[in-house]
Amino acid sequence: MTPHPQEKAFPVSWDQLHRDARALAWRLSGVGQWEALVCITRGGLVPSAIVARELNIRLIETVCVASYHDYDTQGELQILKPVTEAVADLGQGGGERVLIVDDLVDTGRTARVVREMLPRAHMATVYAKPEGCEVVDTFVTEVSQDTWIYFPWDMSLQFTPPLHNG
């Protein structure tokens, strides 16, 4: 997949994602004591595993929301699996003492849907775009709205021609 002409490419290696997810955990370590982590699948699976390890969170839940149906454009949001009541009721209810983790907040649509399920939870993403920044509580790196992030699970090693042909 090549970025659209108006988009910038931001390829993220496994090493970079690991460093950034650990940086996210470091930022979160001073924010609160978490009883559970809710991972937004699928993109949040890898960062969630790293954050859960770093913060010693053992209760891991998933919320499954599909929005990118063709890996290129966002479509209709589908909740494939909601959060369990047991996790939603933690703390004083509404997800208090619950950490939500995803790889990226783009427009904020997915994050808003999950926020409705857990209004008192703390939402964190590794990367954030301007349209979605206000929906998350903590993130590591902001990229421009017209940047397409290529995650390591979407790429393979191959030759890349130089920007300048000549």
Write out the catalytic residue numbers. Answer: 102-103, 106
DSSP string, the chain: ----TTPEEEE--HHHHHHHHHHHHHHHHTT---SEEEEEETTTHHHHHHHHHHHT---EEEEEEEEESSSSSEEEEEEEE---HHHHTSTTSTTTTEEEEEEEESSSHHHHHHHHH-TTSEEEEEEE-TTTGGG-SEEEEE--TTEEEE-GGG--------S---
Distance between CA atoms of 62 and 147, rounded to whole angstroms? 27
Token pair recorded at residue 77: 């949001």
Residue where the block lists tokens 């891991």: 60
Residue where the block lists tokens 């599909």: 66
